[in-house]
Amino acid sequence: MSSSKSQKIKPQTLRGFRDFLPDQMMAREHLIDIARSVYRSYGFAPIDTPALEYAEVLLGKGGEESDKQVFRFTDQGDRDVAMRFDLTVPLARFAAQYVQELGVPFRRYHIAPVWRGERPARGRFREFMQCDFDTIGTTSNSADIETLFVINDLLEKIGIERFTIRVNNRRVLNGLLEKHDLLPHTVSILRALDKLDKIGREAVIAEMVERTGIDPQRAGRVLDMAELKGTPEEVLAVLDGMLAGSQTGELGLANLRELFSAVNSCGIPKERISLDVAIARGLDYYTGTIYETLLGDLPEIGSVCSGGRYDNLAELFTSQQLPGVGASLGLDRMLAAMEELGMTQKATTPAPVLVTMFDASHINEYLAMGRALRKSGIGAEVYPEAKGIGKQMKYADKKGFRLALIAGADEFSQGVWQIRNLKEGNQLAVPASEIIPQIQSLLK
């Protein structure tokens, strides 16, 4: 290989694929840590599945449109393979394969990248992270309610102060469509309905009429119900009358009523959970409760955590019935929102303490101090070169270290270290034996 300029390979990433620098990665890992701990606190266990699957396992599950987005190719062994485009289809395959040994109900979380060959746009990439959690093998509404609780705890732990989890139930929508003889048009109608917030009542009616050929009056009646406003109790009362006689609709209402009752008695702030008959979620496979989560300070960014209940996850892989309910945190969207809300920190070091290297002849003391700090659970970086102390302080400042430890000939002869507080701009000399407790209290 020549080192001439013209032969250098251009460093570049593929369309829709991204690199993450330390500050971005710190924020990502922080969010993932929170998701992990909340999921675990409800008993969800981690799993992972391969990025690559047989194409037949993945394809044909989300309609033609999503098949077109799948990265698919023939591998070196002439197999027809595809990269996973979500975590739900792999879960279906996984569940069908292992349900015998796992038993039900089974709760898993899966935090992993997925790939879609669609056109990238703002907040949309060809490789992105999903943070799914699902409870499968039970039809109990209790699992639906706990799914809501998980979403609530997740947002709370992330530090979002104002958010709304909008809840609806597909059965309620189906009951309504049933009463208006619109069941054959379910997919088109719900897809149009889902855009209500974005495009408004008239445009939704127009789209329904255009896509299904129904007359505007009937479309309007769907909207009348979808636009119901008020407390969950008020909306439920109106729906009760509207859906009377529809078994499906009444079942959906009963589940919603139970859910809101649990919200009230389990200490979830009432104002965070709304009953919104207009949300439908695009995915065809939802059959019961559906959720989406909007940020109070940035609703226009869209749902940051959505999900719902499905009747039979694994029917394509096994004859065993596997109903389930779950949701997914949109990590990239959440991060974009946090960035816009100024919630991300700027530090690019994961360690709070920098041990400066003042005098290279004492290298062992500096290295030993680093080890001592880490042994006490304090992250510490030892500056690798005995450069000017000003330079090292500059580095500490830029990287966002909270404390810097400094010791030269004077300190070593007195048996002390200087602890410099970068934020406050002050420092104190501390005997070597008291360094650790002193730092621990400073970092509190």
Partner RNA sequence: GUGGCUAUAGCUCAGUUGGUUAGAGCGCCAGAUUGUGGUUCUGGAAGUCGCCGGUUCAAAUCCGGUUAGCCACCCCA
Tell me the closest approach of the beta carbon of residue 357 to RNA, in angstroms: 12
If the CB atoms of residues 213 and 377 are measured against RNA, the closer one turns out to be: 213
If the CB atoms of residues 15 and 270 are measured against RNA, the closer one turns out to be: 15
Tell me the closest approach of the beta carbon of residue 58 to RNA, in angstroms: 15
The DSSP letter of residue 124 is: B
Tell me the closest approach of the beta carbon of residue 394 to RNA, in angstroms: 4
If the CB atoms of residues 97 and 418 are measured against RNA, the closer one turns out to be: 418
110 within 8 A of 132, measured Cβ to Cβ? yes
Q: Cα dihedral sign for 157, 158, 164, 169?
A: negative
If the CB atoms of residues 146 and 292 are measured against RNA, the closer one turns out to be: 292
Tell me the closest approach of the beta carbon of residue 125 to RNA, in angstroms: 5
- Beta-strand ranges (E) seen in 352-411 are 353-355, 380-382, 403-406
If the CB atoms of residues 242 and 290 are measured against RNA, the closer one turns out to be: 290
Tell me the closest approach of the beta carbon of residue 353 to RNA, in angstroms: 13
Structural tokens at position 249: 């609709």
Helix axis angle, 232-243 relative to 247-265, nearest 10°? 170
Which amino acid is residue 295, in one-letter code?
A: L
If the CB atoms of residues 22 and 230 are measured against RNA, the closer one turns out to be: 22
Query: Which are the contacts of 317, defined by CB distance < 8 A and separation ≥ 6?
Result: 92, 93, 95, 96, 97
The 3-class SS string of 145-177 reads HHHHHHHHHHHHHHCCCCEEEEEEEHHHHHHHH
Tell me the closest approach of the beta carbon of residue 16 to RNA, in angstroms: 5
* Contact set with RNA (CB under 7 A): 5-6, 14-17, 62, 65-66, 86, 116, 118-126, 128, 130, 191, 281-283, 302-304, 306, 328, 330, 332-333, 358, 388-391, 393-394, 396-398, 406-411, 418, 420-427
Closest CA to 90 of 132, 140, 45, 32: 132
411 within 8 A of 391, measured Cβ to Cβ? no
If the CB atoms of residues 319 and 426 are measured against RNA, the closer one turns out to be: 426
Tell me the closest approach of the beta carbon of residue 205 to RNA, in angstroms: 14
